[in-house]
Amino acid sequence: MNIKTLIMEEVLNQEAYSAPEIPCRIKLDANESSYDIPPSLKSRIIESIEKISLNRYPEPGSPDLRKGFAGLYGVDDDMLIVGNGSDELIQILLMAVKGQASGVMFPTPTFAMYKISAFNTGHRVIEVPLDSRFDLDVDSMLEIIADKSPELVFFSYPNNPTGNCFDADRIEAILKESSGIVVVDEAYANFSGKTFLPYLDRYENLVILKSLSKVGLAAMRIGILIGSLPLVHELNKVRLPYNLNTLSQIAARLYIDNEAEFRRQADGVAGRREELSNELKKIDGIYPYASDSNFILFGCTFDTDSIYDGLLKKGILIKKFNTPGVLENCIRVTVGTPEENEEFLGALRDILTS
Ligand SMILES: Cc1ncc(COP(=O)(O)O)c(C=O)c1O
């Protein structure tokens, strides 16, 4: 028997998503928070674990958390789904919408999971390159909407890996014209201070995604989807009943109760991002792009492989892009603690002068 004959062609044609664990001292490759959560909060998680009956399923649909997040975001709790990371919510959206001839549209470069999950759920993919300022090519996107009516459009806002927020008017132009769902993925919104939440009243086809992965809880896998009541009603039929485990539910509750503290930490990251960017600008041959996120993309006139290898020899892990196109010779670095940033900058200067 040839097992492959049973597998979807879209799956056969892909490589599995690989995120290898590369040993390092300073991890600046995955846009995580460099700080673990404060020990006082961590011990509250540990105390809560002692009270869990591990023989029981988690609370389905996380009603308590939905109320808490609804309070934070100023929306009705029935407009919300809590997911096993926003990755799961992207997949739920793709599983729920019809995937016939039209397609799923997103700009490139952007977050890889839009494409991977679209293929895995049998959708066509329509990629539209960003313009030279890493903003949306709104004319091309509007043409595609008029021509093909994509069932879903994804915008990472700010965009991973370029770091910038697209022009809000361009996104709104697409929201207005699209007959499909427009997803504004705000995984990095804690560092941009920008959100499409106020647009929810105006656009029934708008969905907003949030994530706690970039603010110190990546290990807990917590994402939030916010959309119109009729859409969320349908999406809940696709969501698995116990999608958020009890431990993650406890961590999410802790986030809700201590949101101001998490926000202060994110504000600190945004401040250090500007310092790091200014220091990078001072290095000959390094060209950082403006960022609204907790990472910075920079181009370099040097060989990125030797920068990557040199940094890794010193225990510092960053993300290199050596794919042809706009990301050629680009490196993405997560904003770390002040000490990590200092060490990264020192190591980079050393490598470039040696
Ligand atoms: C734009 C964007 N959206 C979503 C995610 C995934 O978030 P989560 O960890 O909540 O699944 C990432 C992770 O890197 C991301 O960059």
Q: Which of 62, 293, 341, 300 is nearest to 158 (CA)?
A: 293
Whether ligand 1 lies within 6 angstroms of the CB of 157 is answered as no
The CATH number of the domain covering residues in 18-33+261-353: 3.90.1150.10
* Cα–Cα distance for residue pair 66/306, rounded to 1 Å: 47
Are 308 and 318 in contact by the 8 Å Cβ rule? The answer is yes
Inter-residue long-range contacts of 319-323, CB under 8 Å, 24+ positions, other chains counted? 319/29, 319/30, 319/161, 321/161
β partners of residue 82: 224
Q: Which amino acid is at 273?
A: R
Tens of pLDDT along the chain (354 residues) come to: 899 999 988 889 888 887 778 999 999 999 999 999 989 999 999 999 999 999 999 999 889 999 999 999 999 999 999 999 999 999 999 999 987 668 999 999 999 999 999 999 999 999 999 999 999 999 999 999 999 999 999 999 999 999 999 999 999 999 999 999 999 999 999 999 999 999 999 999 999 999 999 999 999 999 999 999 999 999 999 999 999 999 999 999 999 999 999 999 999 999 999 999 999 999 999 999 999 999 999 999 988 999 999 999 999 999 998 778 899 999 999 999 999 999 999 999 999 998
What was the pLDDT predicted at 101?
Answer: 66
What was the pLDDT predicted at 100?
Answer: 66
CB-based contacts of 260, cutoff 8 Å, min separation 6: none
- Token pair of 164, please? 């910038």
111 Cα to the center of ligand 1, angstroms: 8
Looking at the chain, the number of H-run helices and the number of E-run strands are 12, 13
- Token pair of 273, please? 């991002």
Query: What residue ranges do the domains of the chain occupy?
Result: 18-33+261-353, 39-257
Q: Which fold has domain 39-257?
A: Aspartate Aminotransferase; domain 2 (3.40.640)
87 Cα to the center of ligand 1, angstroms: 6
- Token pair of 136, please? 């949306």
* Cα–Cα distance for residue pair 215/255, rounded to 1 Å: 10
What was the pLDDT predicted at 354?
Answer: 82
What was the pLDDT predicted at 150?
Answer: 96
Distances (CA, A) of 169 to 125, 175, 196, 238: 24, 10, 11, 32
The yes-or-no answer to whether 18-33+261-353 and 39-257 have a common fold is no
Distances (CA, A) of 164 to 59, 82, 109, 242, 349: 37, 26, 12, 35, 25
Paired sense of beta strands 152-156 and 104-108, if any: parallel
| Chain centre to alpha carbon of residue 109 | 13
CB-based contacts of 178, cutoff 8 Å, min separation 6: 145, 149, 150, 153, 205
189 Cα to the center of ligand 1, angstroms: 11
What was the pLDDT predicted at 10?
Answer: 85
8 Cα to the center of ligand 1, angstroms: 25
What was the pLDDT predicted at 20?
Answer: 79
Whether ligand 1 lies within 6 angstroms of the CB of 248 is answered as no
What was the pLDDT predicted at 322?
Answer: 75
Whether ligand 1 lies within 6 angstroms of the CB of 213 is answered as yes
Whether ligand 1 lies within 6 angstroms of the CB of 83 is answered as no
What was the pLDDT predicted at 251?
Answer: 96
